[in-house]
Structure 1
């Protein structure tokens, strides 16, 4: 099936649909299905004040809501539409499988409903990977906008795909971020082109194994029509391309931080170049942008830019728009965000680095680092991370519940690096962490918050952790002014 073909003509009238989970995806799904005549029942594990308020809004429309019972399959259910985070082994899904009832995610529903408003559905350029998805999708949207295309960054990025495909705005193309959870529940998705940025162990408690996690990521390539974009430095991504069943004529396009071969994008003498979408890729290369057009020009961010450029070029975007889009792009907060320079020391907030893979990329961006790390390890180990970064570390300040795991890895693999272990998990610990990091730093160093851990032991989320770091740094800047 081609990516432009509307993939379903379901008659929703009177169809019994169970929506699993209230929230960002569940509520729009319930509303959309109800508007099309489906008999919708929403089930939700939680029964708190917020859930009751959401339930009341849906019940006012005539939608049935069951709070505190997300395990039981309602009678007569013909389809389950689930929030992406619900694990596949939940009793609700086991009961659905036993009854022969299909399970779709919000992405699958959006894919099936695109074109339902009578307009030609916009093609999807899809991005997944363990790290870098949001940045790459936002870079891609910036490039597409620079080309004069009507587009939006949607999906796992926080903007509902259902809202994008059913809303009033008419798009030429969508830049779509997809998580492994979303891909697991999206069997008929067929993108115009897609990229898997990288693969590293993550969410294994949900998927059950690295092989299952990789297989779900690889679903993004199924049925691609123009390009499957992979990371030359991560052979597992190319393996997923080989395994994918794509449309005839769809090409494998690599991106690399080195000089590109034919059918690749890469870097030559500080220039991002394209040897994939040119007339003679054996002998020609097209200049797209300079490395300095990428903000910030850290190695992993240049890789993100190349992936975004590859997807844009697959869609026919001209080189000048790639350059202009990258120049216009501004990264989100807490993603390698430069906060301040104090006494010739740079302070950088990468609170979004919540796993070892993201932190490895962050540490690789700087030569001499005082590293602030720690939090909830989520089962991660830190030996490989510390071994790779040891030569760059001026010192380390550890915070959070699982900091001992990082300290032990430092003892094994970087025993000469000074370590400050803050035995506290209150939110005020960040101010002390910044102060102790400043004591360790020397002119030319970077104090880098790249925790390699989740934040919920001390903060509501990684944003709050990053804000605490930035506030502490700015307070020091004011004192030294």
Structure 2
């Protein structure tokens, strides 16, 4: 199926099982019911919230089974699943045995685009271990600067179903896709797509690094114009080579160095394009300055180049790339500068929940007091510490798995002062900031880049970042 073709399904009387109540399951159940499908929703949980959601759906005539997400309802012809449900769940094993296809919310959105009579907008898709949300939002900002009707959707928190079935007729969609979503999206065919990077993550879900990479690589299948890869991460280029794309689709690299032909890169502080120019062997097109990117950290420049490559693949002019990057502001808790106190910068990168993201964060600063720790999720920290050792003024450890990081520091950076906070209450963040301030010198950066999940101490990484920012601001008020 080509990228611009729209798949039509006769839903009338079709028995569809929707797996999971939630941000994707409820819109899916409603959309299918509206199209005449006989919908049964199954859900593992049976709490008060689930019962309230079930009551709303049942009022529409949708069947809901709570507390039983394992059994495949009789007569099921299709399963539509929430992206987080693991592939080895009994429901999916039963579906496979019965020959019943399983789609995710992304697959359903792809199949339903154009179903309401609107033009089916092409998708520019972004995946990768880190940087997806920032890149998609940068891309949407660039597309808007070009005067295009667009939205940042998908794993970013805006339902793709809502985007394709809503009232707005988009020219193009900037789509963030997780490995979970790609696993369940067999017929997705993007206009162009990027894999930003690959590092071990979610291996408990996928089963192996190879399976994880293969699911990420699905984003390239059937691309029509460009497969964008990271020159510094050869595994992403390998995925391009393995993809079955439309004839004429090109491999486009992005690099923090000077670009070769068919690449975007950086020359003397300028983001330049040697891919979408008339003579890429000899010509380069200036797009923007490094200073147009906020913040201008190396990994964020890489995000900007990937976004620019996708926009250029869609025909966006250079001036819109510059204007879109200038207009973009990063989300909270992503290398967010909180305050300067006594010539020391305090930066919140609570979103750095794994070692790959934290490595990029640490590389952005020359002299760092590092606040780190939380739930390690099976990660090891030796390579991270080895790479960062020369930048560390000091380290403040916190969280349940801080001992793993302490051991890596002892092995690879024994000269770096370490404060080990033996407490996991939420108030520990104020002490962490205070101890970091004691270690810091003028010109240093106190950086919250935990390399770990937050759930041992906080509801999520946002709450952890807010606790850090609150502690920093309280300290700034005291020193004012």
TM-score of Structure 1 vs Structure 2, range by shorter chain: over 0.9
The separation in 2 between residues aligned to 1:244 and 1:120, in whole angstroms, is 27
Q: CA deviation at 1:123?
A: 0.2
Q: CA deviation at 1:130?
A: 0.1
The separation in 2 between residues aligned to 1:57 and 1:363, in whole angstroms, is 47
Partner secondary structure for residue 426 of structure 1? coil
Q: CA deviation at 1:304?
A: 0.1
Give a deviation string over 1:66-104, Cα, whole Å, max 9, x none.
Answer: 111100000110000000000000000000000000000
The separation in 2 between residues aligned to 1:195 and 1:348, in whole angstroms, is 28
Q: What's 1:122 paired with? A: 121
Q: CA deviation at 1:119?
A: 1.6
Give a deviation string over 1:232-252, Cα, whole Å, max 9, x none.
Answer: 000000000000000000000
2:30 maps to 1:31: yes
The separation in 2 between residues aligned to 1:438 and 1:107, in whole angstroms, is 45
Partner secondary structure for residue 378 of structure 1? coil
Question: Once structures 1 and 2 are overlaid, which stretch shifts more, 121-130 or 111-120?
Answer: 111-120
The separation in 2 between residues aligned to 1:475 and 1:156, in whole angstroms, is 34
Q: CA deviation at 1:24?
A: 0.6
The separation in 2 between residues aligned to 1:445 and 1:313, in whole angstroms, is 38
2:111 maps to 1:112: yes
The separation in 2 between residues aligned to 1:231 and 1:80, in whole angstroms, is 35
Give a deviation string over 1:275-320, Cα, whole Å, max 9, x none.
Answer: 0000000000000000000000000000000000000000000000
Partner secondary structure for residue 137 of structure 2? helix
Partner secondary structure for residue 452 of structure 2? coil
List gaps (5 residues or longer) in structure 1: none
Give a deviation string over 1:122-160, Cα, whole Å, max 9, x none.
Answer: 000000000000000000000000000000000000000
Give a deviation string over 1:167-222, Cα, whole Å, max 9, x none.
Answer: 00110000000000000000000000000000000000000000000000000000
The separation in 2 between residues aligned to 1:162 and 1:407, in whole angstroms, is 45
Give a deviation string over 1:436-470, Cα, whole Å, max 9, x none.
Answer: 00000000000000000000000000000000000
Partner secondary structure for residue 4 of structure 1? coil
The separation in 2 between residues aligned to 1:44 and 1:396, in whole angstroms, is 43
List gaps (5 residues or longer) in structure 2: none
Q: CA deviation at 1:3?
A: 1.0
The separation in 1 between residues aligned to 2:479 and 2:51, in whole angstroms, is 50
Give a deviation string over 1:9-38, Cα, whole Å, max 9, x none.
Answer: 111011000000010100000000000000
The separation in 2 between residues aligned to 1:54 and 1:480, in whole angstroms, is 49
Partner secondary structure for residue 237 of structure 1? helix
2:13 maps to 1:3: no
Partner secondary structure for residue 8 of structure 2? coil
Partner secondary structure for residue 224 of structure 1? coil
The separation in 2 between residues aligned to 1:4 and 1:193, in whole angstroms, is 12
| TM-score, normalised relative to structure 2 | 1.00
Question: Once structures 1 and 2 are overlaid, which stretch shifts more, 44-53 or 375-384?
Answer: 44-53
Q: What's 2:15 paired with? A: 16
Q: CA deviation at 1:2?
A: 1.7
The separation in 2 between residues aligned to 1:201 and 1:119, in whole angstroms, is 39
The separation in 2 between residues aligned to 1:151 and 1:351, in whole angstroms, is 28
Q: What's 1:83 paired with? A: 82
The separation in 2 between residues aligned to 1:138 and 1:342, in whole angstroms, is 30
Give a deviation string over 1:393-426, Cα, whole Å, max 9, x none.
Answer: 0000011000000000000000000000000000
Partner secondary structure for residue 228 of structure 1? strand
Question: Once structures 1 and 2 are overlaid, which stretch shifts more, 50-59 or 299-308?
Answer: 50-59
Q: CA deviation at 1:431?
A: 0.3
The separation in 1 between residues aligned to 2:428 and 2:36, in whole angstroms, is 53
The separation in 1 between residues aligned to 2:268 and 2:49, in whole angstroms, is 54
- The equivalences for 1:459-478 within 5 A come to 459-478=458-477
The separation in 2 between residues aligned to 1:54 and 1:341, in whole angstroms, is 46
The separation in 2 between residues aligned to 1:415 and 1:434, in whole angstroms, is 22
The separation in 1 between residues aligned to 2:51 and 2:392, in whole angstroms, is 49
The separation in 2 between residues aligned to 1:79 and 1:12, in whole angstroms, is 11
The separation in 2 between residues aligned to 1:96 and 1:383, in whole angstroms, is 42
Partner secondary structure for residue 110 of structure 1? helix
Q: CA deviation at 1:120?
A: 1.6
Q: How many residues were matched structurally? A: 480
The separation in 2 between residues aligned to 1:391 and 1:122, in whole angstroms, is 48
Partner secondary structure for residue 33 of structure 1? helix
The separation in 2 between residues aligned to 1:423 and 1:65, in whole angstroms, is 46
The separation in 1 between residues aligned to 2:135 and 2:248, in whole angstroms, is 25
Partner secondary structure for residue 369 of structure 2? strand
The separation in 2 between residues aligned to 1:393 and 1:22, in whole angstroms, is 45
Partner secondary structure for residue 346 of structure 1? strand
The separation in 2 between residues aligned to 1:323 and 1:262, in whole angstroms, is 21
Partner secondary structure for residue 168 of structure 1? coil
Give a deviation string over 1:28-77, Cα, whole Å, max 9, x none.
Answer: 00000000000000001111111111111111111111111100000110
User: Runs of 4 or more off by more than 3 Å in structure 1?
Assistant: none
The separation in 1 between residues aligned to 2:304 and 2:207, in whole angstroms, is 31
Partner secondary structure for residue 454 of structure 1? coil
RMSD over aligned CA atoms reads 0.4
The separation in 2 between residues aligned to 1:478 and 1:119, in whole angstroms, is 53
